[in-house]
């Protein structure tokens, strides 16, 4: 576990954080760096492979969540493992309840769990669509919803919160990537959920932001990544943003989507109203009116341009 710089201090001292999908890849980096900065971490991971259909071949006997907990505690940090299925209503609630029972509260939820079932639209099965939407979009909603209910109840009881929801979206959802209709739709949905939840939960002292990470993990292990690019797409470049968002330093930042990798650091601005014209009343007039607006509109952001044609997160 990497220790924070003494000049920077520990940004999350005593804060209770839940991280889903934290047994491998980016989630593991989140959990370890949060713990290094003083957070008490509930490390959630179901223990499946990247498709969600079988056991993680690297899990051995302890399971990936417990392996990360062992690493954190060996370095002097505080963590417990959780293997609930966050895509189920009861599993998500059990995760939130465990944080409260073990560590006495909840300050931060990091929704990071996900699976891949990539397929071109014409070949995608119903199960491939449903499973990806369930884990990414429903899983993010379910954990956020149970955490939000806890924070709302605290406010109703006269207490205050300085709480965080940190979601995980993707440039695949923001800008589009062929072969990922299910994944991109889920990640676009998470971006929309982030904005709406931020507006709804501000009254309870909760900020809601999302990270669009670029990193090499088991989710991207089969991509033909050049060796000189791999270092820039190490998950360690993403984790510092998560720690900052989880800290009290970010209390004035909400409703934002942050793109981050070793090659990219940006704020995604989302949909904006572009060129406008006068409404038309006849179908025959629509063609000329629309084409004028299209000529004045800026082109869509190209997925390859945002990713250097290397990352798919």
What letter does residue 55 receive in the DSSP assignment? B
Contact 151, 201 (CB under 8 A): yes
> From start to end of 84-160, where are the E strands?
108-110
Is the Cβ–Cβ distance between 27 and 35 less than 8 Å?
A: no
- What tokens does 17 get? 């954080």
Whole-angstrom Cα distance, residue 104 to residue 108? 13
Question: Which residue is associated with the tokens 């409260």?
Answer: 100
Alpha-carbon distance of 185 to 117, in angstroms, equals 13
Among residues 172, 187, 204, 247, the one annotated as catalytic is 187
Q: In the 8-state DSSP scheme, what is residue 85?
A: -
CA distance 29 to 239: 6
Q: Which of 183, 204, 247, 261 is catalytic?
A: 183
Contact 122, 171 (CB under 8 A): no
Question: What is the H or E stretch that residue 27 is in?
Answer: helix 25-36
> Given 170, 247, 250, 261, which residue is catalytic?
170
> How many C-beta atoms lie closer than 10 Å to residue 36's C-beta?
21
Nearest to 17 by CA among 70, 128, 96: 96
Please state, in angstroms and rounded to a whole number, the distance separating the CA atoms of residues 279 and 274. 15
Q: Is 183 a catalytic residue?
A: yes
156 classed as catalytic: no
Contact present, 262 and 168 (Cβ < 8 Å): no
Closest C-alpha among 100, 187, 114 to residue 147? 100
Catalytic annotation present for 187: yes
Catalytic positions are 170, 183, 187
């Amino acid at each position: 576990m990497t220790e924070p710089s003494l000049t920077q201090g520990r940004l999350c001292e005593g804060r209770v954080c839940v991280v889903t999908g934290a047994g491998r890849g980016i989630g593991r980096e989140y959990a370890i760096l949060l713990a290094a900065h003083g957070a008490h971490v509930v490390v959630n991971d179901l223990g499946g492979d990247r498709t969600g259909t079988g056991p993680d071949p690297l899990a051995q006997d302890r399971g990936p969540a417990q392996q990360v907990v062992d690493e954190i505690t060996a370095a002097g940090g505080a963590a417990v493992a959780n293997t609930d299925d966050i895509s189920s209503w009861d599993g998500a609630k059990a995760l939130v309840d465990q944080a409260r029972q073990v560590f006495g509260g909840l300050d931060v939820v990091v929704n990071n769990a996900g699976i891949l079932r990539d397929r071109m639209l014409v070949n995608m099965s119903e199960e491939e669509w449903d499973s990806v939407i369930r884990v990414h979009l429903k899983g993010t909603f379910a954990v956020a919803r149970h955490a939000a209910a806890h924070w709302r109840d605290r406010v109703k009881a006269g207490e205050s919160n300085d709480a965080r929801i940190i979601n995980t979206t993707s440039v695949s959802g923001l800008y589009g990537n062929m072969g990922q209709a299910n994944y991109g739709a889920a990640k676009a949905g998470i971006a929309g959920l982030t904005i709406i939840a931020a507006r709804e939960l501000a009254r309870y002292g909760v900020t809601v932001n999302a990270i669009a990470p670029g990193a090499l993990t088991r989710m991207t292990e089969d991509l033909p990544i050049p060796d000189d690019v791999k270092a820039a797409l190490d998950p360690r470049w993403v984790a510092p943003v998560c720690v900052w968002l989880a800290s009290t330093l970010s209390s004035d930042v909400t409703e934002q989507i942050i793109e981050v990798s070793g090659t990219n650091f940006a704020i995604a601005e989302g949909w904006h109203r572009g060129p406008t014209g006068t409404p038309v009343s006849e179908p025959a007039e629509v063609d000329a009116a629309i084409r004028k607006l299209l000529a004045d509109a800026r082109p869509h952001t190209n997925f390859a341009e945002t990713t250097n044609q290397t990352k798919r997160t």
